[in-house]
Amino acid sequence: MLIIPVLDISQGVVVHADCGERSSYKPIQSSISKDSKPESVLSSFFELYPFQTIYIADLDSIQGKDSQSKLINNLAFEYKDCQFWLDAGIKQIYNKLDYKCSNIKFILGTENNFSLDEYDKLLQNNPELILSLDFDKNGSMMNSKILNYSSYWPKKVIIMMLNLIGSNKGIDKFNLEKIIKLNRTSELYSAGGIKDISNIQELTRMNIKGCLISSALHQKKITSNQLKKYDD
């Protein structure tokens, strides 16, 4: 199980993602970080455990505002041995020259409005692209037609339950199992709702490759000793 901490960045600070209600996101209040600066939060993650991968959501760029590319480049440059998965919206996949570090891998979320032809071209031009199957704040999947083309999914696929992000409600086992049945070859990663180590144990039993976590780390509901046992 690859455990991936999350940095949701807006206006230069890390925010607490709250069930997809982006207008209400506020700076993170953390029990492990001294403040909400991305540098501080990232440093606190690595003090907790030597994570291999970090997920970053550039919420400004996703919403069509100025990107946080300079900040993200600086983070990736400082932690060269770590891989950064970046969701910054579809525009930044086309503008990838703005990102100078080879350890940044781009995410295409289905919340973007793209055609199947555009999807195919993006995969051809970006062989390491990560697909994110995004469920909205009401629990409905956005751009759901992509489910009919599961045989064309890339190697890595995130199942992003925006309706559960920051909720501590637990994982959506029902939808996870539905998606697992659609594709047995891609590596699947779960995001949203993880409240404690029991959820990670359940995902492991489901053969989920990894999971994205934020609140459970900031609230110290998952310890470094537990991470050592389940992270690989």
What are the chain's domains? Answer: 2-230 (3.20.20.70)
pLDDT band at 123 (very low <50, low <70, confident <90, very high): very high
The reported pLDDT for the residue numbered 16 is 82
The reported pLDDT for the residue numbered 62 is 92
CA dist 121 and 210 (Å) reads 27
Look over the chain and give the mean of its residue pLDDT values, rounded to a whole number.
Answer: 92
Q: Is 98 exposed, middle or buried (0-12, 13-18, 19+ CB in 10 A)?
A: middle
Model pTM? 0.94
The reported pLDDT for the residue numbered 202 is 95
Q: What Å distances lie between residue 64 and 58, 90, 134, 142, 144, CA to CA?
A: 10, 10, 17, 18, 22
Q: Which of 53-57, 66-70, 212-216, 227-231 has the lowest mean pLDDT?
A: 227-231
Residue 24 has pLDDT above 70, yes or no: no
CA dist 198 and 87 (Å) reads 27
DSSP string computed for 36-68: S-HHHHHHHHHHH---SEEEEEEHHHHTTS---
Kindly report the backbone phi and psi dihedral angles of residue 95, in degrees, each rounded to the nearest multiple of 5, phi listed first.
-100, 30
CA dist 158 and 161 (Å) reads 9
- pLDDT tens by residue, 187-225: 999 999 899 999 999 999 999 999 999 999 999 999 999
DSSP element (H, E) containing 211: strand 210-213
What length does the chain have? 232
The reported pLDDT for the residue numbered 46 is 97
What integer is the mean pLDDT of 34-50?
Answer: 97
The reported pLDDT for the residue numbered 232 is 65
- DSSP bridge partners of 16: 26
Helices marked H in the chain — which ranges? Answer: 38-48, 59-62, 69-78, 90-94, 116-125, 173-182, 197-205, 215-218, 224-230
The reported pLDDT for the residue numbered 84 is 98
The reported pLDDT for the residue numbered 53 is 97
What integer is the mean pLDDT of 103-110?
Answer: 96
The reported pLDDT for the residue numbered 148 is 92
Residue 31 has pLDDT above 80, yes or no: yes
Name the residue type at position 2. L
Picking from 85, 118, 38, 88, the residue whose alpha carbon sits closest to that of residue 189 is 85
Residue 19 has pLDDT above 80, yes or no: no
What integer is the mean pLDDT of 107-130?
Answer: 94
The reported pLDDT for the residue numbered 21 is 65
